[in-house]
Structure formats: structure tokens, C-alpha cells
Amino acid sequence: MEKHLNSLIEKVIRYDRCGIGVIVDTVSGHTFDLVEKNLQLKLPEEFRYISSLVSVTSFSKMEFFEFEDDPKDWNGIIKNNLEIRKNYEKDSNGQSKERMDKILVLADDDGGSVFMITQDSPNKPAPVVWCDYGDMYHYAIAGQFRNPHDEWPSFTDFFEFLVNDLDKRAAKEE
């Protein structure tokens, strides 16, 4: 599996160098620690590994939040997640807190939300969900979705989906 994962990472780096529409950056261990501390969750090891080599801020059809060392950064993942949690908790009269405390929102816009449901242990895979915009809120309140959504059993599986999407886009450009 690690060999396959490394080949996916190498492919993303090649696409970045070719200008296929991906912006690749890396994330430091210190930044992961800040995310965990400020959001009070455990990031899965697979997520830390992949993102330490290729943190993708512009991928597929979504813009993913940036990882910043400063939690007060205007476009950072910490600030955005704290704002989403605060708004959901306020709108739901606290009903969303239990689920939102486990969620790391990776991208959120008018068209949809991509989020990871973290676990108590970094060794457990964290499912990734891509749903329409309002359904993340419904999930946070009721623990279920109202509409069809895409779900991957782990961040690695989601990453592979994104790389396959890149392959399709690259093939169209040839």
C-alpha cells in the first residue's frame, strides 16, 4: 500500500510541475500539532503523511483550506474550522457540538463541503465525506445525510480519487 501511495504522491508532484491546475505545498509537523491543539482532534497518520509531502490547496473542483502556522490567518484551516463550528453550534443550539468536534472541514463553499471524520486514535482511518453544502450541517445535527453524497473510508482513498480525477483532466488536455 505504501508503494502505491508514494506513486500517487509522485504523480501529483509531476502534475504540479507540468501546470495541470494543482498547487502543491507541504505541511510541517508543527502545523499539524497546531491544528490538533486548536481544534482538539487527532489527525490520522495517513493524512499527516500525505499532507507532509503534498498538501493540495487547489485540487479538482474545490479549493481546500490552507494549512497555516498562524491560527489567526484569514484563509487557514484552523480559523475556518473554528468559525464553522461556532456558526453550527449557534444555529443548532449546541446540538452539533459532539459531531463537529470530530470533524475537520477540508473545503466548504456554496456548492459543497468536504470533511474528514476524525477518530480517537491517529492509527484509525478517518472517513472523508463530500456532500452538498447544507448536508454537512444536517449531518452535524442528526448524524445522517438528507441527500446522496460521496464517502471514502479513509483519507488515502479520497486522495486516490483526487489523483484519478487529475489523470482524467490531464488526459483531456492532451
* Contact by Cβ (8 Å): 11, 166: yes
Three cell numbers, residue 137 = 450541517
Give the pLDDT score at 22: 62
**Measured distance CA(4)–CA(162) in Å, rounded:** 14
DSSP SS3 for 92: coil
Give the pLDDT score at 13: 80
* Burial state string for 96-111 with b = 16 or more CB within 10 A and e = fewer than 16: beebbebbbbbbbeee
3.40.50.720, 3.40.1580.10, 3.40.640.10, 3.40.50.2000: CATH of 2-163: 3.40.1580.10
Please tell me the pTM assigned to this model: 0.87
Q: Grid coordinates 508514494 are at which residue?
A: 6
Query: Helix 45-53 to helix 29-39 angle, to the nearest 10 degrees?
Result: 140
Tell me the pLDDT of the chain (174 aa) as tens digits.
Answer: 688 888 988 888 887 777 665 666 778 888 889 889 999 999 999 999 888 888 766 565 666 766 766 656 656 888 889 999 999 999 899 899 999 999 999 888 777 889 999 999 999 999 999 999 789 889 999 899 999 999 999 999 999 998 888 888 778 776
Three cell numbers, residue 9 = 504522491
For the chain, give every domain's residue range: 2-163
